Structure formats: C-alpha cells, structure tokens
C-alpha cells in the first residue's frame, strides 16, 4: 500500500507538471523527469512484490498498468485540465470586470 501511495502521488505530480509547467526558468520539468525515473523503479518494485506473492506472471503487468497507473494518470490529467480552465475563466472575468 505504501508503494501504491507513492505511485499515486508521483503520478499526480507528473500530471500537475504537464498541465502547469511553471514560469520560464522553473525547475518543475526537471523534477518531473526525476520523478518519472523514480516511478519507473517503483513500478518495478511493485511488479517484483506481486510476483513474490505468487500472482500469475502474465497478468501482473496488466494489473499494475490497467489497475493503477493508467487510470490514476488520466484522472489526474483530467482533473488538472478542468482546474486550469476554471482558473483561466476566473482570470478573464476579473480582467473584464476591471475594464468595465
């Protein structure tokens, strides 16, 4: 469960970094690449742990990818994209109100 929690937080950070890349000169993209490397190692550890628990070897990668990695990543992307759209709409309405 600890590894799954770390994987969830890492995927959330990656999705956030894709949608909100930060200002020019930001180190967020570099941290995102480091996080990607650490998450690849983490997925390998989860894979080995599931094999140690006698899960069928042909099903383990499908369970990890389709059960956690892909859904969490796409839901996070979807969430941050909606959040970004709401922030942009609020900023446009404030600018429009100040111009009136």
The pTM of this model reads: 0.82
**Which helix (H) or strand (E) element contains residue 76?**
helix 70-99
Q: What distance in Å separates the CA atoms of residue 62 and residue 7, rounded to the nearest whole number? A: 16
Q: What is the dihedral of CA 50, 52, 57, 61, to 10 degrees?
A: 30
Q: What is the pLDDT of residue 1?
A: 81
Of 19, 13, 18, nearest to 85 by C-alpha is: 19
* Helices and strands per DSSP (H, E), number in the chain: 4, 0
DSSP structural state of residue 53: T
Q: What is the pLDDT of residue 100?
A: 62
User: What are φ and ψ of residue 26, in 5° steps?
Assistant: -75, 150
Per-residue pLDDT of the chain (100 residues; tens, 9 = 90+): 888 899 999 999 999 999 998 888 889 889 999 999 999 999 999 999 999 999 998 899 899 989 889 999 999 999 999 999 999 999 888 887 777 6
């Amino acid at each position: 469960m600890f590894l799954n929690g770390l994987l969830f937080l890492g995927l959330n950070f990656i999705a956030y970094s894709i949608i909100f890349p930060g200002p020019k000169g930001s180190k967020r993209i570099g941290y995102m690449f480091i996080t990607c490397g650490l998450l690849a190692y983490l997925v390998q550890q989860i894979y080995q742990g599931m094999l140690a628990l006698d899960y069928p070897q042909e099903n383990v990668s499908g369970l990890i990818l389709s059960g956690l990695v892909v859904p969490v990543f796409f839901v996070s992307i979807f969430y941050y994209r909606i959040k970004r759209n709401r922030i942009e709409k609020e900023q446009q309405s404030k600018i429009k109100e100040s111009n009136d």
